[in-house]
Amino acid sequence: SLARNLVERGIRVNCVSPGPVWTPLNVADKPAEKVAEHGAETPMKRPAQPEEIAPAFVFFASEADSSYITGEVLTLLGGETTGG
């Protein structure tokens, strides 16, 4: 993986993989009824707001918080991966 190839250079490779996020771009070309349903399929019944997702990127960028993390994917799916 890219993370394994770059770790010896001190480069960490991680990924944030969000589910539905409310931004003007991802609903701009959709009809009103589809906009109202955006994110409704998640257990939280709504899309994430950008300010809810942004801290994940800050976490991975922080040497203090994630210096020993590489090769990880942080999924932010509003509970979609929980059992039940």
State which residues form the domain around 13. 2-76
Task: Please identify which residue in the block is written with the tokens 């960490």.
Answer: 12
| pLDDT tops 70 at residue 56 | yes
Q: What is the pLDDT of residues 17-38, one digit of tens each?
A: 999 999 988 888 989 888 889 9
CA-based end-to-end distance of the chain: 32
For residue 82, being part of any structural domain is answered with no
Q: What pLDDT sits at residue 80?
A: 84
Q: Is the pLDDT of residue 49 over 60?
A: yes
Side chain identity at residue 16, one-letter code: V
Total domain count, the chain: 1
Residue 83 belongs to some domain of the structure:
no
CATH label of the domain that carries residue 44: 3.40.50.720
39 assigned to some structural domain: yes
Residue appearing with tokens 């399929």 = 41
